[in-house]
Amino acid sequence: MTDVGDALAGAEEAELRRRRELRADSDEHGREDSVVSPLADSEEGAIEGALRPKRLDDFVGQHRVREQLTLLLHSALRRGRPPDHVLLSGPPGLGKTTIAMIIAAELGAPLRPTSGPAIERSGDLAAVLSTLQEGEVLFIDEIHRLARPAEEMLYLAMEDFRVDIVVGKGPGATAIPLDIAPFTLVGATTRAGLLPAPLRDRFGFTGHLDFYQPAELGIIVRRSAGLLGVRIEDGAIEELSLRSRGTPRIANRLLRRVRDYAEVRADGLVTRELTRTALELYEVDELGLDRLDRAVLDALIRRFGGGPVGLSTLAVAVAEEAETVEVVAEPFLVRHGLLARTPRGRVATPAGWAHLGLTPPPSADLPTLFD
Ligand code: ADP
Which residues are catalytic, by number? 96-97, 141, 190, 249
| All structural domains of the chain with their residue ranges | 3-48+212-281, 62-208, 291-364
Higher-confidence position of 15 and 227 = 227
Q: How far is the CA of 92 from the centre of ligand 1 (A)?
A: 9
Nearest CA to ligand 1 atom 6: 95
Pairing of strands 174-179, 162-167: antiparallel
pLDDT digits (tens, 9 = 90+) for 168-210: 888 888 888 999 999 999 999 988 888 999 999 999 999 999 9
Q: Which residues of 117-154 are buried (b: 16+ CB within 10 A; e: fewer)?
A: bebbebeebbebbeebeebbbbbbbbbbbbbebbbbbb
DSSP 219: H
Pocket test for ligand 1, best of 44, 52, 143 (most atoms within 8 A of CB): 52
In angstroms, the CA 39 to CA 319 distance is 23
Top pLDDT among 29 and 55 is at 55
The whole-angstrom separation of Cα 190 and Cα 201 is 17
The CATH architecture that domain 62-208 belongs to is: 3-Layer(aba) Sandwich (3.40)
Mutate to test the pocket of ligand 1, among 43, 56, 60, 98 (most ligand atoms within 8 A of CB): 98
Helix or strand holding residue 16 (H, E): helix 3-25
Over residues 243-284, the pLDDT tens digits come to 999 999 999 999 999 999 999 999 999 999 999 999 999 999
CA pair distance 237, 319, nearest whole angstrom: 34
Question: Residue 190, CB half-sphere, CA atoms under 13 Å: how many?
Answer: 17
Nearest ligand 1 atom to alpha carbon 88: 3
Alpha-carbon distance of 197 to 268, in angstroms, equals 52
Identical fold, 3-48+212-281 and 291-364: no
Q: Is the pLDDT of residue 20 over 60?
A: no
54 C-alpha to ligand 1 centroid (Å): 11
According to CATH, the topology of domain 3-48+212-281 is Helicase, Ruva Protein; domain 3 (1.10.8)
pLDDT digits (tens, 9 = 90+) for 304-362: 999 899 999 999 999 999 988 887 888 889 989 999 999 999 999 999 999 999 998 88
**Ligand 1, residues at Cβ distance < 6 Å:** 48, 51-53, 59-61, 92-98, 188, 220, 248-249, 252
Q: Helix crossing, 214-228 with 44-51: angle to 10°? A: 100
Q: Whose CA is nearest to atom 20 of ligand 1?
A: 95
Measured from the Cα of 188, ligand 1's closest atom is 2
Q: Residue 15 Cα, ligand 1 centroid: separation in angstroms? A: 32
Rounded to the nearest angstrom, the distance between the alpha carbon of 33 and the centre of ligand 1 is: 19
Alpha carbon of 96 to ligand 1 centroid (Å): 7
How far is ligand 1, taken at its centre, from the CA of residue 212, in Å? 11
**Domain 291-364 top-level CATH class:** mainly alpha
Ligand 1 atom nearest to 91, measured from its CA: 3
CA torsion through residues 197, 201, 203, 208, sign:
positive
From atom 7 of ligand 1, which residue's Cα is the shortest distance away?
A: 97
Contact 154, 146 (CB under 8 A): yes
Which residue is closest in CA terms to ligand 1's atom 9?
Answer: 95
pLDDT higher than threshold 60 for residue 106: yes
